Amino acid sequence: MIVTQRAYARAGLVGNPSDSYFGKTISVILRNFAATVDVWESPRLEIRPHDRDLSNFESVGGLVDDVERHGYYGGVRLLKAAIKRFADYCAANGGPPLDHNFTIRYHTEIPRLVGMGGSSAIITAAMRALCEFYGVSVPREVLPSLILSVETDELGIQAGLQDRVAQVYEGVVYMDLDRELVDGRGWGDYEPMDPSLLPPLYVAYDARLAEPTERPHRTVRVLYERGDPRVVEVIRQIADLAVLARDCLLAGQPDRLGPLMDRNFDLRCEIFDILPRQRAMVEAARSVGGSAKFAGSGGTIIGTYRDRAMLAMLRERLEAIGCQVIRPQIT
């Protein structure tokens, strides 16, 4: 019998990237794209690579170009690290003996390294599949932190809880990642919200803008950890936008979300370096009246639009600069 589990892409609606700095955010799941993991019993433990786990290239230049665009990435290391953390969790929490082997493989449709949570989706799907295969139950509030530890503890990748919370809870989630909560018990406060509260949303992405998630955070993280007043204050203001967005949605005022999303991006620009092609995506959307902000690390934007006519103009402007535009499937 083959166990199959999946996890979806996600987009930070408002508040990100404060989630990486004990802030607050609202995220939505994007069922348009999924990562799928299959597990079945086998004589030996085997991890099967995906087409994205390139091991042959046309030339040295081809390898260099791939590394410069995507880093030393691939799904096999994510699966290896996920299996290791799963085994550690079982050993520490009285789980069953992991005494029968399996073969594991993954497939993903999520655009690579454009800020849709593709790596965390692979790990989330893998954790779900391993739990089902071995009959292990992990509390829902604990699972995002376990998934995060695969990247932070095993692979040394700087990341936050936002992606994992969104992919575990799905739908729309408001999350408060206060340091005292996360350090004290291992997770924040997670509040699912009704997707019907949202205004019309679009997502646009440019696959050419792929880059490792941690790259844009390096300088800001150093400054934040040093207590740089400007960086700390901007991160606080970005986190506060998530609270305002939650309040206006619950009050039945979805039209207020767009300006908050615009402000989110403008604040980000004060402390992060924004590539010209990334900024061009936001400016193209805003030029026809839509709101726009990064959905994650930069290759994807999300925003609001008023009606079908505006959506058509958004498509035209964004496709003209090489973007693909979708309407997010949240439920």
Task: Count other C-beta atoms under 10 Å from residue 194's C-beta.
Answer: 11
Catalytic residue among 19, 163, 176, 262: 163
- The SS3 of residue 252 is coil
Q: Are 133 and 39 in contact (CB under 8 A)?
A: yes
d(CA 167, CA 33) in angstroms, rounded, equals 12
d(CA 182, CA 51) in angstroms, rounded, equals 36
d(CA 68, CA 72) in angstroms, rounded, equals 9
Beta strands in the chain (DSSP E): 3-14, 24-41, 46-48, 102-108, 172-176, 189-193, 201-205, 293-294, 300-304, 324-326
Angle subtended at Cα 78 by Cα 183 and Cα 208, rounded to the nearest 5 degrees: 105
Q: Are 155 and 77 in contact (CB under 8 A)?
A: yes
- Name 48's bridge partners: 105
**Rg of the chain's alpha carbons, rounded to an integer?**
20
> 299 is written with which tokens?
């290759």
Residue 163 annotated to the active site = yes
Task: Count other C-beta atoms under 10 Å from residue 131's C-beta.
Answer: 19
- The SS3 of residue 16 is coil
Segments in 175-228 forming alpha helices (H): 179-185, 218-225
d(CA 191, CA 175) in angstroms, rounded, equals 6
Positions annotated as catalytic residues are: 163
